[in-house]
Structure 1
Amino acid sequence: MRILLLCSSFNGLTQRAWLELRRAGHDVSVELALSPEVMLEAVQLAKPDLVICPFLKEKVPAELWRGQRTVIIHPGPPGDRGPSSLDWAILEGAAEWGVTALQAVEEMDAGPIWAYRIFPVPAGPPRKSALYNGPVADAAVELVLEVAAKAGDPAFVPEPLDYARPEVVGRLRPAMRRADREVSWAEPTAEVVRRVRAADGSPGGLAELCGMRVRVFDVYPGPALAGTPGTVAGRREGAVLVHTGDGSVWVGHLRAEEPGAVKLPAVSVLGERVAEAQERPGYSEITYDRGDGVGVVSFDFYNGAMSTDQCRRLAAALRYAAAQDTRVLVLRGGEVFSNGIHLNVIEAAPHPELEAWTNINAINQVCRELVWCTGQLVVTSVGGNAGAGGVMMGLGADRVIVREGVVLNPHYRTMGLFGSELWTYTLVRRVGAREAARLTGEALPIGAREAVELGLADRAMAGSRQAFERSVLEYAERLAADPGYGRLLAAKQAARDADERRRPLEAYRVEELAEMSRDMFDDRSGFRQAREAFVHKRKADRTPPHLAVHRELSGTSLPGASHM
């Protein structure tokens, strides 16, 4: 079937839909919904059998849905309507939520229902981004495949929206207002956390902190401290500890409420206002746990971005773990495994190019620690999406395990970078030079199963992130107890020594950095413009040609350059 994906951005969910539909044998093309005219032209060029909108903020033009079957994937249960569905679900503490596939009609979210899924909502509460990228995305991809199958059945007719039906449990909800986002530090910690997480990662909670109006992100409950609500009680690893009505809350990231401000670690935004705040325990982005044979270095960096400081701390943690008397070392990522260097911190630095250079050298040290850990077998646990240097960093391990549903983007091209993270060694070692050139040149996402088929990863495991992490730990424990462990470790050490004699790891690093210096300092491939567009969320002015297959085949393109 010929399917056109209309979307506001080629985000993680849209990428998963694209991957799964193609894997199911469908002919899939993508168009960004930049305007009604662009959407209509895309349909005229693609001549699809079906239009699916996995992530669409814009209204579908009437001329389009009247003449073409168009299905919207809405992040709410049957009957739910409105643009702030997940925000309300988290803020109001919904015990379960859903995703609905519905046909586009004049009234938004009111069309006939093709299919739906219901799932439990963690009591946590979860971040909106975690809910969206986790159970919502899993359900949405199932629905996309079901919709494609039903579209091929001439006897199928979607069910009209009928609030009298028992499964239609939603309702029309208004868009959240600024007042709904306002955070009062005098509220109990649980309420502060819930309100911020209902807006995380966009647009964030609204609050005043240290005399600044800020957007608040990335919060965790802190200790039961007594103090004036809204005052800073301490700091640690870029986060600040803020007094609440009944305790405290750790705030990891802030964005000043002013034009052009960038989301950054809280300490960076507050600056001198928290210079005298004392260091407090109880918050850490990196942890180390060990059993008899397995040590686990866990890191959870917000949105998968890795600043210079974070990379240095992670490299130190890996050195410590490698020096322990365990047999297997597991590197475990968080909600997002890693997206490489921290573009926001780079953009906000006094000298962005110099900060980018320092950052890439720091993440390279993390990669080096993984490759040179020859006293243990190393397993990378990729439970969340990864991109660019984040993918390449994980390839330094002996075994790479990915969770089914994870999307990997093993390329740097869209950011105007050659790339480093020792990819010219680790990626080529896994997939060969020709396949490495294709992956980095095509700049397309790959799914977990494709990663295993290519040799990029060793195994794909199903389940929630928590279930996946348990499975990886059990795998590592079996590896540590394997009677042939000594032989495996000796073979690893011999292979590393042979590779080093053939060409030192330092040679790969130096060659990659020579290319990166031209990208970062000479801006030969548009890194500065691409970075600015990404950080400031500038809207793309066309769909990337490698995604808009219908335009490539027709010879029709839109003017302008893509910032995707």
Structure 2
Amino acid sequence: MRILLLAHSFNSLTQRLWVELTQRGHAVSLEFDVNDAVTTQAVELARPDLIIAPFLKRAIPEQVWRNHTCLVVHPGPIGDRGPSALDWAILEGEQSWGVTVLQAVSEMDAGPVWAHRTFTMREATKSSIYRNEITEAAVSAVLEAVDHSPVPELPRRSWWKPQMRQKDRAIAWAKDDSATILRKIRASDGTPGVLDDGLYLHDAHPSEGLEGAPGTWIARRGHQLARATTDGAVWIGHLGANGLKLPAAQVLPEIAASLPTMPGHHDIWYDEKGAVGFLHFPFHNGAMSTDQCRRLEAAFHDAAKRPTKVIALMGGPDFWSNGIHLSTIEAAASPADESWANINAMNDLCRAVITCTSHLTVAAMQGNGGAGGVFMALAADLVWARSGVVLNPHYKGMGNLYGSEYWTYLLPKRCGEEAARQVTQARLPVGTAEAQRLGLIDDSFGTCPSSFRAEAEARAHALAADPAIDARIAAKGLARLADEAEKPLETYRAEELERMKLNFYGFDPSYHVARYNFIRKVPKSRTPLYLARHRGKG
């Protein structure tokens, strides 16, 4: 079947649907919804059997939906209508929610229902629920609609919820308790955030044992700042200002410097269970700043000193890693210098994992990974991924960035030269089935982060208990010596960084322009041809 995806951007759900539909043999193409004329032209060129809109910010043109079957993915249960569905669900404390696949008609979200799913809500941010529960439900419902051609039916009743505005999200520090404030920020994370005193609040977490005058900043832990509520306090990890989302302490350095350091939420922690060490790093949006890379490298070295057999690198439930931190780079006095510092910190971290000969290492990818974050996973001896994770193992979309993280050593070693070229040149998302076929991962399992963690923990313990573990670690050390003798790791690094230096400091500004547009969410003016296959190239 020829399927045209119509979307505002190539977001996580759209990427997952691209992977799933392509894997099932459908001819998939995509068009960014720039304006009515572009959309209409795309439909004329694609001649689709079906149009699917997983993520739109405006209505499909009438001349399109009247002449083609257009299925819209709405992040709400049957009957829910409106552009801020998930925001309202979180803010109002809904216990269950859903996804509806419905046909586009003149009224928004009012067409016949083709498929739907429901799920239990959890206390989490909008972006986390979207990437997990919403995405899984949407994929299941879309595949049902595509594969089984159900007879659509109109919802028995419906209700309209308006676009959520900042006045709906506003925090009343003098009367709102911590739970209410967390709901407001979670309902707005990562877009648009809660506007408060000229700053957008993001990345909020509960605190314990802190109190003060409601609305005042009262404590600091690393880059996070605690703000008092009527019944305690909440930790704020990131603040949005001038189009950038940055660590809170970096945005308010004077306030941060005046605050006492207190225990609280942290972004890196280590758990040891028997002969296995679990290193967690749920960095916000999967971005890894220079500071975070340095701290994670130190934590890994500490883990490698423990009398364990296996170290499992766990990432976080929403992301494994997306590589260097483009926001902190964009905010730096010299983005080129900070890019250089950040990539070298990433390289140091990867080198620590590659050269660890005391333990067997596992990269346990609970969530999506992109760019250098994917190649950081390949530094481990084994790579496991949650079923449904989407990987973007390429850099070119960021202004033809060459990339480092020892990828020229790690990728061909795992996948072979031909597959390595295929992976880095394609610029397309890779699902777990294809990733395993290519050699990017060793196995995939688990339908959600919690089930994946449980299985990964059991497998890690089985590795550590294997009578052959010591021989396996010894063989790993010998293989590393052989690889080093053939070509030193530092030679790979020097060659990669020579190319990266041109990206950062050379005459071609493509990387800096692409980073600026990405951070500030500048809409695409056209769809790249590797996605818009209907435009003649793919």
Q: Secondary structure at the match of 1:489?
A: helix
Q: Secondary structure at the match of 1:37?
A: helix
- Per-residue Cα deviation, 1:265-311 (whole angstroms, up to 9, x for no partner): 00111122322212211221000110221001100110000000000
1:54, distance to aligned residue in structure 2 (A): 1.0
- Residues 306 and 340 in structure 1, CA contact (< 8 A), matched pair in contact too: yes
Corresponding residue number in structure 2 for 1:198: 187
Identity %: 49
1:525, distance to aligned residue in structure 2 (A): 6.3
1:225, distance to aligned residue in structure 2 (A): 2.5
Paired with 1:524 and 1:458, the residues of 2 have a C-alpha distance of 38
Q: How many pairs were matched up?
A: 535
Corresponding residue number in structure 2 for 1:46: 46
- Residues 424 and 508 in structure 1, CA contact (< 8 A), matched pair in contact too: yes
Paired with 1:524 and 1:438, the residues of 2 have a C-alpha distance of 25
Q: Do structure 1's residue 380 and structure 2's residue 369 form an aligned pair?
A: no
Corresponding residue number in structure 1 for 2:253: 271
- Residues 90 and 197 in structure 1, CA contact (< 8 A), matched pair in contact too: yes
Q: Do structure 1's residue 159 and structure 2's residue 144 form an aligned pair?
A: no
1:161, distance to aligned residue in structure 2 (A): 2.7
**One-letter code of the match for 1:414?**
G
1:184, distance to aligned residue in structure 2 (A): 2.3
Corresponding residue number in structure 2 for 1:126: 124
- Residues 224 and 246 in structure 1, CA contact (< 8 A), matched pair in contact too: no
Paired with 2:476 and 2:21, the residues of 1 have a C-alpha distance of 38
- Per-residue Cα deviation, 1:387-427 (whole angstroms, up to 9, x for no partner): 00010111100100000110000000011210001111111
Q: Provide the alpha-carbon RMSD of the alignment.
A: 1.2
Instruction: Specify whether residues 87 and 249 from structure 1 end up closer, same or farther in structure 2 by C-alpha distance, changes over 3 A only.
Output: same
Corresponding residue number in structure 2 for 1:183: 171
**One-letter code of the match for 1:203?**
P
Corresponding residue number in structure 1 for 2:450: 466
Corresponding residue number in structure 2 for 1:235: 220
Corresponding residue number in structure 1 for 2:497: 513
**One-letter code of the match for 1:63?**
Q
- Per-residue Cα deviation, 1:495-552 (whole angstroms, up to 9, x for no partner): 1110011111111111111110011111536101000000111011100100100002
Instruction: Specify whether residues 517 and 224 from structure 1 end up closer, same or farther in structure 2 by C-alpha distance, changes over 3 A only.
Output: same
Q: TM-score, normalised by structure 2?
A: 0.98
Q: Secondary structure at the match of 2:536?
A: helix
1:116, distance to aligned residue in structure 2 (A): 0.3
1:553, distance to aligned residue in structure 2 (A): 5.3
Q: Secondary structure at the match of 2:159?
A: coil
Q: Do structure 1's residue 288 and structure 2's residue 270 form an aligned pair?
A: yes
Q: Secondary structure at the match of 2:66?
A: helix
1:442, distance to aligned residue in structure 2 (A): 1.3
- Residues 233 and 241 in structure 1, CA contact (< 8 A), matched pair in contact too: yes
Instruction: Specify whether residues 324 and 523 from structure 1 end up closer, same or farther in structure 2 by C-alpha distance, changes over 3 A only.
Output: farther
Paired with 2:294 and 2:109, the residues of 1 have a C-alpha distance of 47
142, 145, 156: which one aligns with 1:144: 142
Corresponding residue number in structure 2 for 1:299: 281
Corresponding residue number in structure 2 for 1:116: 116
170, 184, 196: which one aligns with 1:207: 196
Instruction: Specify whether residues 404 and 357 from structure 1 end up closer, same or farther in structure 2 by C-alpha distance, changes over 3 A only.
Output: same
Paired with 1:302 and 1:458, the residues of 2 have a C-alpha distance of 26
Paired with 2:252 and 2:457, the residues of 1 have a C-alpha distance of 39
Corresponding residue number in structure 1 for 2:385: 402
Paired with 2:210 and 2:371, the residues of 1 have a C-alpha distance of 41
Corresponding residue number in structure 1 for 2:435: 451
Paired with 1:523 and 1:454, the residues of 2 have a C-alpha distance of 35
1:433, distance to aligned residue in structure 2 (A): 1.5
Paired with 1:171 and 1:374, the residues of 2 have a C-alpha distance of 60
Corresponding residue number in structure 2 for 1:440: 424
Corresponding residue number in structure 1 for 2:10: 10
Q: Secondary structure at the match of 2:319?
A: coil
**One-letter code of the match for 1:296?**
F
Q: Secondary structure at the match of 1:201?
A: coil
**One-letter code of the match for 1:4?**
L
Larger deviation, residues 291-300 vs 265-274: 265-274
Paired with 1:63 and 1:226, the residues of 2 have a C-alpha distance of 58
Q: Secondary structure at the match of 1:111?
A: coil
Q: Secondary structure at the match of 1:498?
A: helix
Instruction: Give unmatched runs, 5+ long, in structure 1.
Output: 164-169, 555-564
1:146, distance to aligned residue in structure 2 (A): 1.2
- Residues 76 and 99 in structure 2, CA contact (< 8 A), matched pair in contact too: yes
- Residues 243 and 519 in structure 2, CA contact (< 8 A), matched pair in contact too: no
Instruction: Specify whether residues 60 and 97 from structure 1 end up closer, same or farther in structure 2 by C-alpha distance, changes over 3 A only.
Output: same
1:489, distance to aligned residue in structure 2 (A): 1.1
Corresponding residue number in structure 2 for 1:254: 239
Instruction: Specify whether residues 215 and 376 from structure 1 end up closer, same or farther in structure 2 by C-alpha distance, changes over 3 A only.
Output: same
**One-letter code of the match for 2:95?**
A
**One-letter code of the match for 1:47?**
R
Paired with 1:457 and 1:399, the residues of 2 have a C-alpha distance of 7
- Per-residue Cα deviation, 1:126-183 (whole angstroms, up to 9, x for no partner): 10000100010001111121111134xxxx43112322xxxxxx52111112111111
Corresponding residue number in structure 2 for 1:20: 20
Corresponding residue number in structure 2 for 1:316: 298
Corresponding residue number in structure 2 for 1:166: none
Q: Secondary structure at the match of 2:476?
A: helix
Larger deviation, residues 282-291 vs 109-118: 282-291
209, 222, 232: which one aligns with 2:207: 222
Paired with 1:436 and 1:278, the residues of 2 have a C-alpha distance of 49
- Per-residue Cα deviation, 1:177-200 (whole angstroms, up to 9, x for no partner): 211111123321111111100111
Q: Secondary structure at the match of 2:321?
A: coil
- Residues 530 and 537 in structure 2, CA contact (< 8 A), matched pair in contact too: no
Paired with 1:489 and 1:393, the residues of 2 have a C-alpha distance of 20
**One-letter code of the match for 1:161?**
P
Paired with 1:159 and 1:487, the residues of 2 have a C-alpha distance of 62
1:261, distance to aligned residue in structure 2 (A): 3.1
309, 314, 317: which one aligns with 1:327: 309
Q: Do structure 1's residue 345 and structure 2's residue 334 form an aligned pair?
A: no
- Per-residue Cα deviation, 1:325-346 (whole angstroms, up to 9, x for no partner): 1000000011111110000100
Q: Do structure 1's residue 533 and structure 2's residue 521 form an aligned pair?
A: no
Q: Secondary structure at the match of 1:157?
A: coil
- Per-residue Cα deviation, 1:76-122 (whole angstroms, up to 9, x for no partner): 00000000000010011111000000000000000000010011101
Q: Secondary structure at the match of 1:67?
A: coil
Corresponding residue number in structure 2 for 1:424: 408
**One-letter code of the match for 1:159?**
E
Q: Do structure 1's residue 102 and structure 2's residue 102 form an aligned pair?
A: yes
